[in-house]
Structure 1
Amino acid sequence: MARKKSTFVCQSCGAVTNRWAGRCESCGEWNSIIEEVESAGIGSSPKTIRGKSGRVVELVPLSGEDKPAPRIETGVGELDRVTGGGFVKGSVLLLGGDPGIGKSTLLIQASAALTHHGHSVVYISGEEAIDQVRMRAARLGLAEATVQLAAETSVEDILATLTSGPPPQMVVIDSIQTLWTEAADSAPGTVTQVRASAQAMIRYAKQTGAAVILVGHVTKDGQIAGPRVVEHMVDGVLHFEGDSGHQFRILRAIKNRFGPTDEIGVFEMTGGGLTQVANPSAMFLGERNTSTPGAAVLAGMEGSRPLLVEIQALVAQSPLGTPRRAVVGWDSSRLSMILAVLDAHCGVRLSSHDVYLNVAGGMKISEPAADLAVAAALVSSLAGIALPSDCVYFGEVSLSGAVRPVSHTASRIKESAKLGFAKAVVPEASQKSIKSAELELSNLSTLTDLVARIASGTEILTQDTQEP
């Protein structure tokens, strides 16, 4: 009998080595390498079978009739928006999020909405008993929904149950880390088991045409636990984000083979479950104080949706030798760049000040169009001058101090006018490319112009911030 070959797999990043080590060389984690026995089952490497040749695959030309992917609309508008119009038949989505953020609540509400439209849905729970799922559905007022439930973790039993009758139109697996298959000789939750279980569910989705939703746990740094190869295998990756101090939840598309990426859907967590937020901009600006210095409104974009959020900055004299730099909801390295540009080109020296920056409402902004709003908030806080309450800002700041144009200018202006804003500070190139009768556009060519306009409300900012 041939001896089975064993490998050593890191349970944190999935790196494979030929010998055991206390520390993984790929991710740096300690005591994460476990010995696993290779097998020829699901998830193992392909084996060469002698005496059997492959089948001939039909080759087709690149040109042909473009058919839209068949979709299953849930009726939950924000969820359909993020997925690109609904779940595609035969696709597999991976939904990740922090514990208690509302992943199961969202999927139960989506499953119930699908059954109301006549679709068949199977909900497989590997973490909770059937009674626990029923109690959550009762709290949400969805006890009468015809969702079929099961509490199982064996992949073979799940597939046997799903293939015993007519294939459902959607299958929810909560969660992929709890599944295990006999084809892999390792404990549930390990890299091998997660990869093997995901591959089995993907094969089922492609063969039957059912849409499969896999729930994934996240690590302490916000990444979906398990091997990254699972994210490459699935058709879409969704992240459910939110701050424990806010009731708002954001569903973000990280990967989508059948729709746009970086699209977001906004929900509000209430006692009756998740409710859709029809106007996120009004929600994020609902409680802002218009007379406080250090607050600027950003007309941003999230995917194809214009979104207005408030950028809050606080600049205070630091008693420490090394001033603090605290950022919530934005890139800390980009804040350092804006501070350097203000110092080098505008004479606004903040090297002896503590700087705190926050995006109100628990939003996370990553687009460079927020540079101008951040710079305006910083200068406003340092000068103690409140910015106009009816003005929005957007534009990218380069290292030379120039204000560069950004995309979707028309959408940003239209959303600002809809919410009652009257002015917009935009890059000079953007004003030349678009004319707006809805807002009064004020153009900027350099960041120095912005500092001068804010400082015009008083004689000087501080003794350190005068123009050289």
Structure 2
Amino acid sequence: MAKNKTSYVCTECGADYSRWLGQCNECKSWNTISEFRQPKVSNNQQRYAGYAGYTEAKVQTLDTIDLADLPRFSSGFTEFDRVLGGGIVPGSAILIGGEPGAGKSTLLLQTMCVLSAQMSALYVTGEESLQQVAMRAKRLGLKAEQLKLLSETSVENICHVAEKEQPKIMVIDSIQVMHMADIQSAPGSVSQVREAAAFLTRFAKQNHVAMIIVGHVTKDGALAGPKVLEHCIDCSIMLEGSTDSRYRTLRGNKNRFGAVNELGVFAMTGTGLKEVKNPSAIFLTRSEEQTPGSIVMVLWEGTRPLLVEIQALVDHSALGNPRRIAVGAEQNRLAMLLAILNRHGGLQMNDQDVYVNVVGGVKVSETSVDLALMLALVSSFRDKALPQDLVVFGEVGLSGEIRPVPSGQERINEAAKHGFKRAIVPHANKPKDAIDGMEVIGVKKISDALEVI
């Protein structure tokens, strides 16, 4: 028998090292390198597998592969299907993470109860007992007569039971408590999570079983465990939302079968998660009184527009170093926009504290927020309220120009559906044909946008 091979793996980026280091050379993170012991491998296993029942794989050309054998099936939630790219693909491995109490187990239990009426479904729980899962299903009023439950933490035993039951979809809750007998480390360690996820993913591919794996998150909000965990699965989804808010957002970070950054919105109720058909309505709950520093922008999340209110507060600073705080937006981009306002707009906020908040807990990462954020800062700085029927979007360049953004026509149409009468957009995004009931103003520079407001 060969000796155990020991390597050291960074839990943040997945880099391998031959010895322990205090800092990872790849991602520059401190104290993230953990010991990883690979299982013993015999000399016979290292040899060519043709002597032990080896079957030669068949080589096919790309155009001869039949896609009809893998039709998608619905999860029962339109918002869930949207994030997955149109439904669940058989044989895919889906990783879903989120904060404790976000509703991961609730969402999956509701999904499995719906799918169990159409196909064979297996729910594997490693953190809760069968009685606890049954109590939750009863409290939510779910029809769970045909859903099969298994309380097990051994990956080998789970796959052995799955071979007998032949489910079409499985849920593993969660990967941090699963363990394999060949790995000599505690459950939740780098080696256990890495090998267990790889084994389950391989089982899903070979048996055409849709595998949904639940993963914990760290205090920073990232998925716990080695970074290679996200590489071996097909789809990575994060369920976000604070415990004091009734709304949850389901966002896709990686998807081999659909678009990335799709957004699904759910509402937590006494009977479980309910999907929100019109997310823009819940993010536009504004007061009737006009307030300075508040404006509505149009985001593009995946394949649909989303209207969100952004607020800015500019106040005189009593500190030598003024504060720059952004909640839901990038803080570096806020500093850049303040510099552009100073250079091309003639507004100096060097002695002002600046606070920015995106209403509803939405995190904005695209550049179309630039113009709306800039006008909100000017509105708060001048203490003049903007019209409530105004919607704004556009990217701002370092030279003060307003750049176009993708899907401008769809953004304007979505704003018109919600009753907005005026829109300030990049000149290149201004539609050629007039829109009934809406005045669309195209601007080319920062000075043009400041003159309009």
TM-score w.r.t. the length of structure 1 is 0.90
**Shift in alpha-carbon separation, 1:36–1:238, aligned structure 2, 3 A:** closer
- Superimposed CA distance per residue, residues 46-89 of structure 1 (whole angstroms, 9 cap, x where no aligned partner): 97415848865444334457736411212211111111221101
Q: Does the CA-based 8 Å contact 1:238-1:251 persist in structure 2? A: yes
Partner of 1:441: 440
1:220 pairs with 2:219 = yes
| Aligned pairs (5 A) from 1:167-316 | 167-316=166-315
Q: Is the 8 A contact 2:36 2:190 kept in 1?
A: no
Structure 1 residues 290, 414: closer, same or farther in 2, change over 3 A?
farther
2:402 is matched with which residue? Answer: 403
Rounded to whole Å, the distance in 2 between the matches of 1:2 and 1:202 is: 26
Distance 1:219 1:137, change over 3 A: same
CA distance in 1, matches of 2:38, 2:57: 30
Tell me, yes or no, if structure 1 residue 340 matches structure 2 residue 329.
no
Q: Post-superposition shift, 1:269?
A: 1.1
Q: 1:338 to 1:253 in 2, by over 3 A?
A: same
Structure 1 counterpart of 2:323 = 324
Q: CA deviation at 1:271?
A: 2.0
CA distance in structure 2 between the aligned counterparts of 1:353 and 1:150, rounded to whole angstroms:
58
CA separation of 1:9/1:303 partners in 2, compared to 1, >3 Å: closer, same or farther?
Answer: closer
1:200-237 CA-to-partner distances (Å, cap 9, x unmatched) read: 11111112211000001111111111111121111111
Structure 1 spans left out of the alignment, 5+ residues: 455-468
CA distance in 1, matches of 2:103, 2:184: 32
| Partner Cα separation in structure 2 for residue 145 and residue 451 of structure 1 | 62
Distance (Å, rounded) in 2 between the aligned partners of 1:121 and 1:50:
37
Alignment correspondent of 1:49: 47
The aligned counterpart of 1:163 is 163
How far is the alpha carbon of 1:287 from its aligned partner?
Answer: 3.4
Provide the rounded CA distance (Å) in 1 between the counterparts of 2:347 and 2:416.
Answer: 32
- Aligned residue for 1:358, secondary structure, equals strand
Residue 197 of structure 2 aligns to which amino acid in structure 1?
A
What is the letter of the counterpart of residue 94 of structure 2?
A: L
Provide the C-alpha distance between the structure 1 equivalents of 2:77 and 2:110, rounded to a whole number of angstroms: 8
Report the counterpart of residue 425 of structure 2 in structure 1: 426
Aligned to 2:93: 92
- How far does residue 314 in structure 1 lie from its aligned partner after superposition? 0.5
* d(CA) in 2 for partners of 1:11, 1:407: 36
Using a 3 Å threshold, how does the CA distance of structure 1 residues 21 and 60 change in structure 2: closer, same or farther? closer
What is the CA–CA distance in structure 1 between the aligned matches of 2:99 and 2:381, rounded to whole Å? 36
Checking the alignment, whether the CA contact within 8 Å between 1:92 and 1:212 is kept in structure 2 is yes
Matches within 5 A, 1:100-115: 100-115=101-116
Q: 1:29 to 1:345 in 2, by over 3 A?
A: closer
Quote how far apart the aligned CAs of 1:27 are: 5.4
Please state how far the C-alpha of 1:434 moved relative to its aligned partner.
5.8
CA displacement at 1:132 relative to structure 2: 1.2
User: TM-score by structure 2 length?
Assistant: 0.93
* Counterpart in the other structure of 1:463: none
State the one-letter code of the partner of 1:436: I
2-structure distance, mates of 1:316, 1:330:
19
Provide closer, same or farther for how the CA distance between residues 32 and 287 of structure 1 changes in structure 2, counting only shifts above 3 A: same
Residues 234, 37 of structure 1: alpha-carbon distance in 2 compared, 3 angstrom cutoff? closer
SS in 2 for 1:339: helix
Whole-Å separation in 2 of the counterparts to 1:259 and 1:366: 19
1:17 partner amino acid: Y
CA apart distance, 1:335: 0.7
Check the 8 A contact 1:123/1:149 in 2, yes or no.
Answer: yes
Amino acid at match of 1:99: P
Residues 65 and 324 (structure 1), Cα distance of their counterparts in 2 relative to 1, 3 Å cut: same
The structure-2 alpha-carbon separation of the partners of 1:60 and 1:157, relative to structure 1 and needing over 3 Å to count, comes to closer
Q: Give the stretch that moved more between structures: 7-16 or 149-158.
A: 7-16
Q: Is the 8 A contact 1:36 1:185 kept in 2?
A: no
Amino acid at match of 1:109: Q
Corresponding residue SS for 2:360? helix
| Alignment partners' CA distance in 1, 2:31 and 2:256 | 36
Preserved contact between residue 293 and residue 379 of structure 2 (Cα < 8 Å)? yes
Number of residue pairs matched by the alignment: 449
Shift of 1:412: 0.7
Q: Deviations over 1:322-374 (max 9, x none)?
A: 11111111111111111110001000111110000000011111110011110
Q: 1:16 to 1:365 in 2, by over 3 A?
A: same
The 1:268–1:367 alpha-carbon spacing in structure 2 relative to 1, beyond 3 Å, is: same
Q: Which amino acid aligns with 1:49?
A: R
SS at match of 1:296: strand
The answer for unaligned runs of 5 or more in structure 2 is none
CA contact (8 A) 2:12 2:227 kept: no
Q: Equivalences for 1:341-420 in 2 at 5 Å? A: 341-420=340-419
From the superposition, tell whether residues 216 and 298 of structure 1 become closer, same or farther in structure 2 (CA, over 3 Å): same
Structure 1 residues 31 and 304, CA gap change in structure 2 (3 angstroms): closer
What CA distance in whole angstroms lies between the structure 1 residues aligned with 2:129 and 2:197? Answer: 22
Is the Cα–Cα contact under 8 Å of residues 246 and 362 in structure 1 kept in the other structure?
no
Q: Give the CA deviation at 1:40.
A: 4.4
Distance 1:319 1:47, change over 3 A: farther
Paired position in structure 1 for 2:136: 136
Deviation digits for residues 411-441 of structure 1 (CA, Å, limit 9, x no counterpart)? 1111111111111111111116564335210
Q: How far apart in 1 are the matches of 2:205 and 2:37? A: 28
- Listed one character per residue, the Cα deviations across residues 89-141 of structure 1 (whole Å, up to 9, x for unaligned) are 1111000111111111111111112124x222111111111111111112211
* Corresponding residue of 1:122: 122
Q: Which moved more, 1:216-225 or 1:241-250?
A: 241-250
> Per-residue displacement from partner, 1:175-221 (whole Å, max 9, x unpaired)?
11111011222221111111111111111111221100000111111
CA shift at 1:320, angstroms?
A: 0.7
User: Pairwise mapping of residues 74-85 of structure 1 onto structure 2 (< 5 A)?
Assistant: 74-85=75-86
Q: Secondary structure at the match of 2:67?
A: coil
